[in-house]
Structure 1
């Protein structure tokens, strides 16, 4: 999916609950997962296991990742998308750690990424899958920072986003 907000390309990984049928009227909450390139298989497998024993609510899982799955691209993009403010010292540290030009790293893109989720990703998922307005987001480390950012900066969407 190409973002109309920040012009980045995101790869969406989607897991539908057991029994999902496009012909019936059942709708499902959506859990958005960050860092899909490494977390999607783990999260969807755990959900499927718990779902098979009817131990968890049936949900649609949408993991947001990168089409380019290189370690450098993944780390630099997550630092850009998931951080709420720019810190040139962090930019320099990240660039140095990956031996890339500092011009390729600029923290502080959380506002743009949240807008991408609201403007591009959620409408796409809602258009193609049977969803409810009950949405959540999950991430760890700097992805957890972004989830916290959503909690503080999307209060009108609190029920809908976090």
Structure 2
């Protein structure tokens, strides 16, 4: 059973929905979540906020946060996840912002991705350094990790 199908089953059992806020994946997480039949029962909506302006306008990310930390940062991932949750009817929201490549910097190299997950118990963030897997590899690894975070959050108490 796929991760998305497992998320669908758990969300259906709990009667909850999820939302996504995506930058570097450009909607891949939302696409995976809507792949299984019946996904409309648990998927509320997805936000593809590739630009900083979109992060600000659609998710309420603060310009000050972007200026202080850059788009690829845990503070921005935190605000993206919370923004997606508050701008939707979702119980849980997952966010991703990262450097898919090619390129990057010494501080923020290719494969560095920041994740956020927001729910009733609060919001947590983490950074994963997937390494230089190439653009497609980083995006696929990011999608799968985000789905794993959602599955883990749904596996806890409602």
- Normalised by the length of structure 2, the TM-score is 0.32
More strand as a share of residues:
2
Using structure 1 for the length normalisation, give the TM-score. Answer: 0.31
Q: Which has the larger radius of gyration?
A: 1
